[in-house]
Amino acid sequence: MNAGVDENDFRGSLQGLLDGVSRAQMPDVPNPYSGTGTQDLHEHDTRSFFFDEFLSLLGWRLGLDGNVAEEARIKAETTKFIDYLGLNEETNTPLLIFEAKAWDKPFIRGKGASRKKKEDNELLVEAIRHVNGGGSKEDAPVVGDWHDYLTQLAGYVKTSQSTYGHRVNRAVLASGSWLIVFTDPTAVFCDGLVDSSQFQIFFDHQYVTNAHLIYKLLARRHLGTDTPVSLRSSQLGHHVSEANLTAAFHSVLVNYEKSGIDIFSPRPRIQIYPALLVLRDDGALFTIIDQEDPIEMNLIKDDVGNQSLSSHITEVTKISHELLRRCSDEIGEDLVAFSLDDFPGFPSLPAAEDTINTAPLGGLRTEFVKPFRTRADQWLVATGEFAHFMVHQPRVVCGFHTWSTCHAVGRQIGDSSIDTRITETPRSFFTDEQVYHCAHQTVQDRRRVRCHIAPIDMRTCCRACCFQDICWPTDELARLPCGGPE
């Protein structure tokens, strides 16, 4: 996206939105919310007429599959509701707290000695310090509901920090006719760093003139470290340079389909898109994909008649290395794919007591597989120095690829072998006797909470997967039925 184009589009659309609000308040226009009569915009009206569209113009998405929660619950001493809560889609952490008031709510005014303050920002600083110090509404330096407004906003920010551990990027208090943007709300309401440099005030007659500032402060693209879903290699230089590059990792985009005619059981179809993950020094992770045509994962008979993935993996590897070279040319530095040990992990949703997100032996689990949350059966898999999550052949020779061998030692899975590919639980792309298939119950029991590719396939041999050294410490690997390290 071009920043100049985006800003200009926002300025023009904002002008149109303001014109529409002005027309809606004219005396001869029917009020769709109250019938005829006064055209004052109450809080609900202001949100419907103005703020919903205002946030959309800033790149936020409301509604289903959006990144804005409306009337979001936040638990403090009592449950409260934030008008709009802008979220990071990947981590579900708050980026923007937005409190909306009715259009005609007056801007902050002083009372008593504070009435003499000439600057709005000076009065706002005094009112915030009064709130932070636990002052009462009766003794507040401001009139009307402003003490309550600031107390409410402070409560949201403090709760986000103390209860959930999140520093919110922005907080907004607005009526439509005026707009206050707190650029570091946690510093203001939690750290006590209150001065006029911590917020900016805009009035409706200034919105269009200051559209570039409003856009920079509140546009979704400017908050957090979220990156585009994918880039082409020729676009990488717009986001990453030799100076701020940290690392690169091979990866694959995986699309899983249930294929076949309805009268028979569906068969899995796995499509692979070679990709590269580029890590910037601020933690932003960019996904580079050039090839739009997928490579279907298929087993092909080798020279001795065994079914093998080698041809498929070789094709993926060739395209991955070409992609790495093109990205190197764009940045002007020879990129090298770092190992999986160096991968920082994809952001994951907070889940303090979820054992699936916790390593079997304790500690936080690094997420190497990122599901696309808008559609099932699609994942981005970080593979590090490998071009694929599968390796050409298992690293050890093992007889437990067959159900009958496992049955002979009393450790078979289920009552019979898997002789055809299946898409339902347990998903199995590989079948009995193929070297990429595992039929041993002990391995399945031990891998249950640690397997990264289980959503893609639940019966893959661990020794044929690129994550084998990540999932299995050396001592545990040695205790597997198939034996220790090669």
At 1, is the pLDDT very low, low, confident or very high (cuts 50, 70, 90)? low
Which pLDDT score is estimated for 31? 52
Which pLDDT score is estimated for 198? 93
In this model, does residue 73 exceed pLDDT 60? no
The mean pLDDT of 438-443, rounded to a whole number, is 96
320: tokens are: 């991955």
36: tokens are: 């005829």
What digits encode the pLDDT tens for the residues 83-94?
Answer: 899 988 766 778
- If phi > 0 it is left, if psi is from -120 to 50 it is alpha, else beta; for residue 483 that is left
What digits encode the pLDDT tens for the residues 231-252?
Answer: 999 999 988 999 999 999 999 9
What digits encode the pLDDT tens for the residues 110-146?
Answer: 987 767 666 888 999 999 999 999 999 999 999 889 9
What digits encode the pLDDT tens for the residues 32-66?
Answer: 444 444 445 454 556 667 899 999 999 999 887 78
CA 175 vs CA 98, 251, 293: distances in Å: 11, 46, 49
Confirm if 127 and 108 have CB atoms less than 8 A apart: yes
In this model, does residue 261 exceed pLDDT 90? no
Q: Output the pTM of the full model.
A: 0.69
The mean pLDDT of 288-296, rounded to a whole number, is 95
Number of C-beta neighbours around residue 258 at 10 A: 13
Q: Looking at beta carbons, which pairs linking 209-217 to residues 24 or more positions away fall under 8 Å?
A: 211/7, 211/10, 211/11, 211/14, 212/7, 212/11, 214/10, 214/14, 214/58, 214/179, 214/181, 215/6, 215/7, 215/10, 215/11, 215/58, 217/170, 217/181, 217/183
